[in-house]
Structure 1
Amino acid sequence: MRYFSLLLLFFIFSFQVFAQNTGTIKGQIKDETEQEAVIGASVFLKGTSMGSTTDVDGNFQINNVPEGTYTLVITYVGYDTKEIPDLKVEVGKILLINTSIVPENQAIGQIEVVGKRETGTTIAVIAEIKEAEQVAVGIGSEQIQKTQDRDAAQVLRRIPGVSLQENRFAIIRGLPQRYNAVMINDIYAPSTEVDTRAFSFDLVPSNMIDRVLIFKSGAGELPGDFAGGAVKIYTKTAPEENFTNISIGYGFRTNTTLEEVQDYQGSKTDFLGFDNGLRRLPTNFPSFISNSLSPAERAKLAHGLTSDLGFATKRILPDVRLSYNMGRRFRVGSWQVANLTAINYGNTHQYYDAEFNNFLLVQPFPPPKSASFVDATYTNFYRLGVLHNWSFVKNADNRIELKTLFNQQSFKQSLIRRGGDIINTVDNENYSQRFEQKSFFGSQLVGKHNIGVKTNFTWVAGFNYTNKSEPDWRRFVTNRRTGATLPDGSPVPFQLSIPGSGNLFDGRYFSKLNEFAYSTSVAFERKLNENTEEKLTPKIRFGLYTELKNRDFKARYFSYLVSPTADPANIQAIKEQPLSQIFRPENVDGINGLTFVEGTSSVDSYDASNLLAAPYASAYIPFKKFSITPGVRLEYNIQEINTLNLSGTPEGARNPILSILPSLNMTYNLTDKSLVRLAYYRSVNRPEFRELAPFIFYDFNLNASITGNSRLKNATIDNADLRWEYYPSASELISLGAFYKNFANPIENYLQNNTGGAGTNNFAYSFGNAVQAQAYGVEAEVRKQFYGSSSKFFQNLGVVANASYLISKVNVGRQVDLGPSVGVVDVDAPENRTLVGQSPYLVNFGLYYNDEDKGWQINALYNVAGPRLFLVGNFNTPSFYENQRHIIDLNIAKTFAEKFELRFTMQDILNQKFRIVQDANLNAKIDGEDGDIKAFRPGSNYFFIFTYKF
C-alpha cells in the first residue's frame, strides 16, 4: 500500500507545483447561425497538448496555461475550423473567449449540417469517464496511436486493473476471462475459444478502435454476466474530413529473424490466413470410419491425406505489416453520409526453444526431474482485418450507422520436442504440425433518434459469425532407449511409436467450430424536465436486449496402427523411416504395413444454443451535489447443449434460468473537479458451451486433456465499489478505488486425481463448482500533463500511471462434482487458494512526449503483472504458477511536412523469460524450491513503420 500512497502524494504535489505561474482560458462556443451551444467541440492551444471539450452548454475551460501568447483552435465535425490568434495569458488571470463557429458549406440552402462529438481523444475519454454514472475506465484512439499497440489485447493492458493471459485474453481485477462481458459496438462479442468462455482480443486491430471503455460496476443497461468488467469496444465511425493514408512496416525479432528453422509444407493461401483445402478431409471421405472395414480398406482411405509429413530447413524473413485507411464525407440529397474503411495485414514470425519438464515430487527441493524436453517452436502468424463503417445523418434528431468488422487470423506452427523420460530411460523426439484459423465477422445496424426534446430512442440489430478450424493437426511420437547403440557404436535411430488403438495423442486431429449470433436491442431514455443543466435533469431509462446464439462443434481424430497381418521386420523398417516417408501409400497398405483407424467417439461433437432476453429499467435521480442511479435487469436465459456420451446415449443440458439483477450507483460531487462513487450490483456467471460438453480436448503444448461437465451450475456474484476521482483539468485525472466481490458456486477447473504425476504422460482437467470465493483490492490511476511548467520540454510531457493490489480466496470444498464422465470426487488439494489468473499486483507506467511544432513523439511504456495461478493442481501434482515479466516498450516517431511519418518501435526490450513453475513445496508462491515446467524467451521485437498521408 505504501506504493499507492507515494504515487498519489508525488502527483498531487506535482499538480500543485506546476499550477503556479499560470492563467486560465474559458468561454462558450455557439453555432453562428442558430446561436445554440455546440456540444463536444474540441478547443485547444495550437502547438501544445493543452485543450478541452465543450460541455452541454457549450462551455469550455483550459486551466494551468503558462504565461504567454497563444492561438486558440476550435474544431467540430461539420463545421469550419476556427483559429483565434494572439491571445495573451497572464499569471493568475482568466481570459474569457465567447465565440461562434460556422457550418461547412453554409450556402447549400436548407440542408442541415449536423456534427458528431469527438470520442477518441484523451480529453473526450476522460470527460466520458467523469460523466458516467458507473465506475469506469478507458482509453481512446489518441493514446492508442502513441503506444503503437497492434491489437485490442495489447491496448487493454494499458488500462487500470487489466492484465493479459496468453497475450490475448483479458484478466480484469484479477478475475479470469470468464468473468468479463465483451461488447463490440454495444453487441455481445462471441466466445472465440473451443475449450473455455473467452474472447480473443487480438482479433481486433488497434487502428480500427475509437475507444475502449471498461465498466466495473453494473447498471440496468449493462450486461448482467460480468464481475471483472464489461468491456465495450467502439470502432471508428465517421471521419472529421476526407483522408487517405497507407503504412508499411518491417520488423525484426531477436532469436527469430534470419534464423534457420525446421518447418513443414503448408497451403498456398496460408499467407491470407486460411487453408486452401490442402489439409482438410477429402470430400468423399466417410462420415465415420468403421472398424468393420478391413485394414486394407481403411488404409486406402488414408491415401487421401497428405503423406509427406517431413520438415525442411527455412530461413525466417522479416515481419511485415501493411495498412490502408480511407475516410470520406459527402451528401446524398439532404443526408450527410460518411464512410470509413480500414484494411490491415500482418505476416509475423516467432521462434524459441522452450524448456519442458516434469518432476519427481520428493524432498529435498527443488525436486529432481522425471522428464526433460526442449520444444523447438516456430510459429508464423497471419492477420487480415477489414473495417467498413457508414453513417447516415438526416438531421440532429436522426442518425443511422452501419458498422462492419471482419478479421481472418491464423497461425502455422512447427514444434519438435526433443528430450527424454529420465525415469523410464527413454529418449523422445516428438513432432507437432499445426495450423489454426479463425474468422470473425460482426455487423451492427444502429439507429439513434430524438423524439421531441425529452425522449431518445436507440435501436440496434446485430449479427456475429465466428469460425475456428484446426485442419489436420499432426502429432507423432518417436523414441529410443537411452544410451542404446548400434554395433558400430552410433546411437540407434529414433522409431515411430505406434499406439495400440486410436487416441488423441498420436495421429491426425481435425476440428471445426461455427457460431452464429443474432442480436437486437431497443433503448429509451426520457427526461423528466427541461433543466438547463444536464447534470440536474432526472431521467428514466428502459429497454430490451435479446440474443440467439447457435454453435456446432465437430472433432475427428485418426491414428496409424500396425496391420494384423504385417511382418514385424517390415514394421520395424517402416518405423525407422523419416516422417517424410513413413506414411507413403506403400507403407500404409493394411496388409504388410500400417493401417488407419478412427478414434473419434460420440462425445467429440456437440451442438448448442443460447437464448437471452433481458429487459431492464433504471433511473437517474440528481440533486444539487448528489445523484443516485437505481436499476434492475431481468435476464431470462435458456442454455441448451446436445451431445452423446461414450455409450452413445444422449447427454446434454437445458438450463432455463431467470436472474434478477439489481444495481445501485451513487455519486457525490465534492467540488466541480472531484467526486466520490459508491456502487453495488449483482451479476451471474454461466457455464460456456464447451464447459458443459463431455467432449475431451487435448492440448499438445501443455500435455493436458480437458473434459466438460454437463452438471455445472450458474455462479452468482455480489459486487461493491468505492472510488474517489479528481479532475484537475480536462486532460488530467487522479483516482483511487476499492472493490469487494463475493461468489457463490464459482466455476473453476480441477486437476483430476492421479493424473500428471511422475511416470504419467499427461494431465487431465475437468470443470466444477467451488463452494464460495472472495476477491477484493484497491486501484489507483494518474494522468498528468505538465502544462503549467515554464519549461517547453515539460509542457510537451505527459504521464499515465496506474497500479492495482489484488487479493482473492476460493473455498473449493472437500468434494466436487465433475460431471457424469468423472463423477463426484474428493478434492485432493488445499481447501483454500487464489483464483486462477489473479495477480497480486499490476503496474502500468507511461511517459509521453509530444512536440507538435517539431513533429517529434517519444513514448516509453512499462508493464508488469505479478505471479499468478496458471493451472490448479492437487497434493499429488502441485499447481502451476506463471511468473511475472517486466515489459518495457519504446516508440519514437517523426513527422515530415505533415504527410510523412517514420516510426520506430521497440517492444519487450528486456525479453525476460516466460516461466510456468510448479509449486513443488505447496507454499502457493514461486521460490527457489520450485522447478520450471515450461520456460522460454519470446524475443524482443523492433519495427520500422512508414506512413504517408495523401
Structure 2
Amino acid sequence: MKKSTAFGSLLLLTTQLVAPHALARAAQDPAVVSPGQDDPAAQEEEVEISAPGAGDTSDEIVVIGRNIPNVIKATPQVVSVLSSADIARSGEGDIAGALTRVTGLSVVGNGFVYVRGLGDRYSSSLLNGLPLPSPEPLRRVVPLDLFPTNIVGSALVQKSYSANYPGEFGGGAINITTRAAPRDGFFEVEGSVGFDTVTTSELGYTYDGGGADVFGYDDGERTVPGFIKAAGADGTSISDPSQLIQLSNAPTTVVFENYHIPANWSVGTSFGKTFDTGNFRIGVIGAGGLSNSWQTRAQKQQVAIGADGGLASDGNQVTTDNRIIANGMLGIGIETGEHVIRFTNVYIHDTLKQAIIGLYDEENYGIPGQYGVPSFSTQNTNWFERQLFTSQVVAELDFGALDVDLRGAYANTKRKAPYERAFRYEFNPTVNDYTNSLSAPSGATIAFSDLNEDLWAGAADFAYEFDSARPITVSAGYAYTDTFRTSSRYFFRFVGPNNGPVNLAVSQQRPDYLLSDYNIQTYGITLRNESTGTGAAAYDASLKVHAGYVQGEAELLDGLRASVGVRYETAKQRVLPTGAVAGTNLDNDYFLPAATVTWNFAPDMQLRVHGSKTIARPQFRELAPQLYQDFESSRQFIGNPLLIDSQLYNAEARYEWYYARDQRISLAGFFKKIDNPIEAVAFVAAGSTSLQTGFSNAPSAKLYGGEIEAVKYIPLDTLGDGFFATKRLVLIGNYTYTKSKLETGDELVPSPILGAPAVQSSLLFDDGAPLVGQSDHLVNFQLGIEDTASLSQLTVLFNYASERVTNRGPVVEGVRLPDIVEKPGLTIDVVARQGFKLAGAEFELKFEGRNLTKTRYQEYQSFPNDVRVDTNTYDVGRKFTVGLSAKF
C-alpha cells in the first residue's frame, strides 16, 4: 500500500497515530466486502489523523493468518474516530457538538468534553498531536466548541493510554487534526441563517458597547485606562475625579430591551491548491469564518441555606448572550518522496457579549420580599473576549524501516474581560421604587480581567520496524512543554462621599446617570479597590514537563498482538500570586506503564485487554487563589493552592466484531481507581447569600462501567429500482453505563475556602457519592437514510444523559447540603443534506433542527419532603438552521 499524499482529500491515517504501524493493515484489504461496496458511500473512508508518535503507512502490514478490515480495529489501542463524513452527518457546527455522538462522551457547559463521566481535567486536548493552552481561566483544557468543523479533518478519541501520549490521561485524549490541502484545487463559500424559538425575534436585553461588536472585536471603547492598571497592581483606590470620568460609561452601562433579538447567522470560505515543482509537491489550504448567535435564558436561581431547603436567596434573571466567533486557518504542506512536512496556523477569536437583568429576594429582607415586590433589582453587562493562536511545524520523515517525526509549536491564548459592570438596586418603600445609594445592601462594581498564556512545545519520535518473520516495531520519543500564564482581575466598588451613601435623589437615577461625570465631580464618588478582598488580584503560573518513552509493538503468536510501553514524566508546576496569599509549588515525576494485548481469534473478531497508570495534575484555575465569574452559571469560582496531583490506575477489556466493512459491534468493560481526585465544592461565603465554587482533593474514588456500540448499514435496493436503488439505512448506536464512588473517611483534605484549615473529608464528601460530572447513563442513536451515489442524507439523532453532579453540596454553618445536580435529559435533532450541481459548481443545501424535545437546562438540589431548590434552571429553545454552500 502506498503512503497517501498530504494532499489527498483525506490522508490515510498519517504516520503519527497511536500505534502507527498497525493502522495500515486494513484499509485496502479486499477480504471483507459489505453490500454495496462499489458505491462511494460504502467504501471505507480514508481519515486524516496527526497524533503523537511515529510510524509508517507505506507498507502493507499483515497479522499472520488474519485479515483486519477496519482502521479502528487495526490499532492496538481503544480509539474512536470521527471522520469528516461523520462530522458532516451530525450537522454540528463545532467539534464539541460532534463529539457528543462518540461512545462514552458528553459535553458539559461551554464545550468541555467528559470521557466516561470523568471531568475535563482527566482529558487532554491536542491539535495535530501537539498540546494547546486554554483561553478560559476556569479551565486548563481547551473548550472544543471553539473549533468550527470547517477547519477539522478528523477528531480521534483514544480511551486507553499508550506511552506516546502525555501522561495526563484519565478518561482519554482528544486529538483534532486540521484539514490538509486536496489533490485538486477548490474554492468554497458557505452561509447559514437560523432562529431559536425562545430567543429569535423575542424579548431580550443588550447594550451598545462599541461599533465593532457585531464582529466580536472592541473598537477601543473598552480600552482599560492606565490608572486602572496601576491602581489594580498597587492595590490602591481611585479618588481623582479627573481619572474616573475617563471610564467608559453609557456605552458599557445602559441595558435596553430588544423585542426582536436578531437571527443567528454564519459565513465561511475555504480554498485549497497544490503545485508540483520537481520532486516536491506543495499544497496550500486556507479557511475562514464568522458566526454570530444569540441566546436568551430566563433563569431561576436560588441559593439554599438550610438543611430543609430554606432559601438564602430566591431570584429570577434574564440573560441574553451574543456570541461571535471568528476563525481562520492557513496550512502549507510539502511532500518529497515519502517525506511530508506540515506547517499549520490556526486562529480563533471567541467573544461573548452579555446583558443581565434580575430580580431577587434575600433571607434578611424577606422571601418573598417584605414589601410585596422583590427586594433587589440587579443589572450586569459583560464582555468576554477569548483568543487562540497556534503555529505548528510537523515533519514526518520515512527512511524505510526507520520513521522519524519531529514536531514543534508555539501557541498563545488570551482572555480579556474589561468593564464587567454590576449594579444592585434596593426597593425603597419611601419612593416606591428601586434605589442605589452606592452603599450596602445596594451598590455598583466594576472589574477588569486580563489573561495571557504562552505555550512552547516540541517532540521527537522514532520508530524502527525490524525485518523479521513477525511484525516487530520499537519506538521511542521525547516531548517537552513549557507553559506560562499571567492573570489579573482588578475589582473595584463605587462608593459615595467619605465611603458613605449618595443622597436619595441621586440614588433613584438609572446606572449611567448615577455614575455620570457630574455626579462623580459633584458628590465625590470614588472607586474603592477590593481586588484582594478574596484571594489575589494577580498571579503568574507555569508548568514545565519533560517526558520520554519507549514502546514496542509485536505479534507474539498468530493473531496475538501486544503493545507495551512506559513513559517517564517530570513536571514542575508553579502558581505565584501577588500579595500575602499562599501559592503552589509542585515538583513530581512518574513512571507511567501501559500495555494492551489484542487477540484476533477469528477473521472478524478480536478481544483486547488493557492496563495502565496515568496522572491528572490540578489545573491552573483550580490552584489559583483568584475569583472568576463564570458567565454561564453566574457563579464565582476560586482556586485552592493546596491541591495535589491525582493518580489513576486503569483497566479495560473489549470484545469487537467487525462483521462487514465499516460495520461493527463492540462490548467493553472498564475500571479505574483514582487517588486524590479533585472535586468542585460549592460553599456560601461568610456574610454572603450567593454560591461560590472551590476545589478539594477527595481521598480516593473508583469508577467502573461498560459500553456497547453498533454500526449497521442496510441497503434498500431490495425495495425496488428507482428511488431505492442507491439508498441505504444508517443505524449507529451506543450506550455507556458508568458508576463512580468516592471513598471518604476521617482523612484531612484541603478546605475549598481560601485560608481555612484542612477538614475531614467526610464533611465535604459522602462516602459512595458519584464523581462530579459523571452520568450513570449515556445514550446516542442515529437513524438515517442516505444515497450511496450522491450527497443526499436525512439523519435523526437522539442523545440522552442521566443526572450528574456539578458541585458537591455547599457546607453552611458546618452542615453539608445536598449536591447540586444537573439533568441533561433527552434531546432529538434532525439533519438533512442535499447536494446538487448548478452552472458547473457543486452545491450543498443543509437543514438542521436542534433540541426538538425543547429540553430545559436544569441544575438543582433535592431536599427532604420533595423540596427542590433551582440553582440554575431555564428553558432552551428549539433551533432551526438553513445553510447553503457552493464549491468551485
TM-score under structure 1 length normalisation: 0.82
Partner residue in 2 for 1:86? none
What's the CA shift for 1:213?
Answer: 1.1
Could you say what secondary structure the match of 1:510 adopts? Answer: strand
Q: Does residue 832 in structure 1 map to residue 776 in structure 2?
A: no
Q: Does residue 849 in structure 1 map to residue 785 in structure 2?
A: yes
User: For residues 359 and 302 of structure 1, do their structure 2 counterparts lie closer, same or farther at Cα, with a shift above 3 Å needed?
Assistant: same
Q: Does residue 477 in structure 1 map to residue 424 in structure 2?
A: yes
Could you say what secondary structure the match of 1:587 adopts? Answer: helix
Identify which of 612, 621, 627 aligns with 1:696: 627
User: For residues 497 and 359 of structure 1, do their structure 2 counterparts lie closer, same or farther at Cα, with a shift above 3 Å needed?
Assistant: farther
Asked if structure 2 preserves the Cα contact closer than 8 Å seen for 1:571 and 1:594, the reply is no
CA distance in 2, matches of 1:76, 1:723: 24
Partner residue in 2 for 1:407? 348
Output one character per residue of 1:26-53: Cα deviation in whole Å (capped at 9) or x when no partner. xxx899xxxxxxx959xxxxxxxxxxx9
Could you say what secondary structure the match of 1:586 adopts? Answer: helix
Partner residue in 1 for 2:730? 798
What's the CA shift for 1:596?
Answer: 1.8
Identify which of 169, 181, 184 aligns with 1:226: 169
Partner residue in 2 for 1:869? 805
Aligned-pair identity (%):
23
Q: Does residue 823 in structure 1 map to residue 757 in structure 2?
A: yes
User: For residues 651 and 30 of structure 1, do their structure 2 counterparts lie closer, same or farther at Cα, with a shift above 3 Å needed?
Assistant: closer
User: For residues 192 and 211 of structure 1, do their structure 2 counterparts lie closer, same or farther at Cα, with a shift above 3 Å needed?
Assistant: same
Output one character per residue of 1:676-712: Cα deviation in whole Å (capped at 9) or x when no partner. 1000010011112222222233447646443322222
User: For residues 855 and 163 of structure 1, do their structure 2 counterparts lie closer, same or farther at Cα, with a shift above 3 Å needed?
Assistant: closer
Asked if structure 2 preserves the Cα contact closer than 8 Å seen for 1:495 and 1:575, the reply is yes
Larger radius of gyration between Structure 1 and Structure 2: 1
CA distance in 2, matches of 1:195, 1:70: 47
CA distance in 2, matches of 1:867, 1:263: 33
What's the CA shift for 1:294?
Answer: 9.2
CA distance in 2, matches of 1:279, 1:116: 58
Identify which of 175, 197, 210 aligns with 2:153: 210
CA distance in 2, matches of 1:565, 1:676: 72
Q: Does residue 947 in structure 1 map to residue 880 in structure 2?
A: no
User: For residues 185 and 292 of structure 1, do their structure 2 counterparts lie closer, same or farther at Cα, with a shift above 3 Å needed?
Assistant: closer
CA distance in 2, matches of 1:495, 1:231: 51
Output one character per residue of 1:847-892: Cα deviation in whole Å (capped at 9) or x when no partner. 1221255753111101011100011114443221001321111112
Output one character per residue of 1:446-491: Cα deviation in whole Å (capped at 9) or x when no partner. 111122x21111111111111111111101111115xx365xxxxx
What's the CA shift for 1:310?
Answer: 1.5
Identify which of 414, 419, 423 aligns with 2:360: 419
Partner residue in 2 for 1:197? 140
Partner residue in 1 for 2:568? 634
Partner residue in 2 for 1:82? none
Q: Does residue 442 in structure 1 map to residue 387 in structure 2?
A: no
Could you say what secondary structure the match of 1:836 adopts? Answer: coil
Asked if structure 1 preserves the Cα contact closer than 8 Å seen for 2:25 and 2:69, the reply is no
CA distance in 2, matches of 1:936, 1:76: 41
Identify which of 656, 675, 681 aligns with 1:725: 656
Output one character per residue of 1:92-133: Cα deviation in whole Å (capped at 9) or x when no partner. xxxxxxxxxxxxxxxxxxxxxx9999xxxxxxx993311111
User: For residues 556 and 640 of structure 1, do their structure 2 counterparts lie closer, same or farther at Cα, with a shift above 3 Å needed?
Assistant: same
Identify which of 56, 60, 65 aligns with 2:30: 60
Output one character per residue of 1:249-305: Cα deviation in whole Å (capped at 9) or x when no partner. 1111112112243311111222222222211322454511699989752x3322111
Partner residue in 1 for 2:551? 618
Asked if structure 2 preserves the Cα contact closer than 8 Å seen for 1:476 and 1:497, the reply is no
What's the CA shift for 1:516?
Answer: 0.6
User: For residues 293 and 621 of structure 1, do their structure 2 counterparts lie closer, same or farther at Cα, with a shift above 3 Å needed?
Assistant: closer
Q: CA RMSD in A?
A: 3.1
Identify which of 258, 283, 288 aligns with 2:231: 288
Output one character per residue of 1:321-365: Cα deviation in whole Å (capped at 9) or x when no partner. 1111111111133211111111111011111211122346465xx
**The 10-residue stretch of structure 1 (822-831 or 178-187) with the greater mean CA deviation from structure 2:** 822-831
Identify which of 484, 487, 491 aligns with 1:550: 484
User: For residues 140 and 166 of structure 1, do their structure 2 counterparts lie closer, same or farther at Cα, with a shift above 3 Å needed?
Assistant: same
Asked if structure 2 preserves the Cα contact closer than 8 Å seen for 1:799 and 1:845, the reply is yes
Could you say what secondary structure the match of 2:513 adopts? Answer: helix
Q: In the comparison of the two structures, how many residue pairs are matched?
A: 828
CA distance in 1, matches of 2:58, 2:409: 25
Partner residue in 2 for 1:16? none
Partner residue in 1 for 2:515? 583
Output aligned runs, 1:113-512, within 5 Å: 127-283=70-226, 285=228, 287-288=230-231, 296-297=239-240, 299-308=241-250, 309-314=253-258, 315-359=260-304, 361=306, 363=308, 367=309, 371-396=313-338, 398-421=339-362, 424-425=365-366, 426=369, 427-451=375-399, 453-480=400-427, 484=429, 486=431, 492-496=432-436, 498-499=438-439, 506-512=444-450
Partner residue in 2 for 1:686? 617
What's the CA shift for 1:152?
Answer: 1.1
Could you say what secondary structure the match of 1:129 adopts? Answer: helix
CA distance in 2, matches of 1:291, 1:659: 40
CA distance in 2, matches of 1:159, 1:252: 27
Asked if structure 2 preserves the Cα contact closer than 8 Å seen for 1:703 and 1:762, the reply is no
Q: Does residue 740 in structure 1 map to residue 681 in structure 2?
A: no
In structure 1, what residue type is equivalent to 2:870? D
Q: Does residue 518 in structure 1 map to residue 456 in structure 2?
A: yes
What's the CA shift for 1:666?
Answer: 0.5
What's the CA shift for 1:248?
Answer: 1.1
Q: Does residue 540 in structure 1 map to residue 474 in structure 2?
A: yes
**The 10-residue stretch of structure 1 (805-814 or 936-945) with the greater mean CA deviation from structure 2:** 805-814
CA distance in 1, matches of 2:2, 2:45: 11
User: For residues 430 and 552 of structure 1, do their structure 2 counterparts lie closer, same or farther at Cα, with a shift above 3 Å needed?
Assistant: same
Asked if structure 1 preserves the Cα contact closer than 8 Å seen for 2:593 and 2:612, the reply is yes
Identify which of 514, 518, 525 aligns with 1:594: 525
Asked if structure 2 preserves the Cα contact closer than 8 Å seen for 1:76 and 1:116, the reply is no
Partner residue in 2 for 1:767? 695
User: For residues 565 and 198 of structure 1, do their structure 2 counterparts lie closer, same or farther at Cα, with a shift above 3 Å needed?
Assistant: closer
CA distance in 1, matches of 2:630, 2:237: 31
CA distance in 1, matches of 2:27, 2:324: 48
Q: Does residue 893 in structure 1 map to residue 818 in structure 2?
A: no
Could you say what secondary structure the match of 2:73 adopts? Answer: helix
User: For residues 148 and 700 of structure 1, do their structure 2 counterparts lie closer, same or farther at Cα, with a shift above 3 Å needed?
Assistant: closer
Could you say what secondary structure the match of 1:287 adopts? Answer: helix
Asked if structure 1 preserves the Cα contact closer than 8 Å seen for 2:544 and 2:573, the reply is yes
Could you say what secondary structure the match of 2:243 adopts? Answer: helix
Asked if structure 1 preserves the Cα contact closer than 8 Å seen for 2:727 and 2:788, the reply is no
In structure 2, what residue type is equivalent to 1:892? A
Could you say what secondary structure the match of 2:448 adopts? Answer: strand
What's the CA shift for 1:586?
Answer: 1.1
What's the CA shift for 1:530?
Answer: 5.3
**The 10-residue stretch of structure 1 (888-897 or 739-748) with the greater mean CA deviation from structure 2:** 888-897
Partner residue in 2 for 1:776? 704
Asked if structure 1 preserves the Cα contact closer than 8 Å seen for 2:417 and 2:450, the reply is yes
Asked if structure 2 preserves the Cα contact closer than 8 Å seen for 1:378 and 1:413, the reply is yes
CA distance in 2, matches of 1:942, 1:702: 25
Q: Gaps (5+ residues) in structure 2?
A: 4-10, 14-22, 47-56, 61-67, 370-374
In structure 2, what residue type is equivalent to 1:658? D
In structure 2, what residue type is equivalent to 1:549? T
Partner residue in 2 for 1:904? 847
What's the CA shift for 1:155?
Answer: 1.1
Output one character per residue of 1:135-167: Cα deviation in whole Å (capped at 9) or x when no partner. 111211111111110111101101000001114
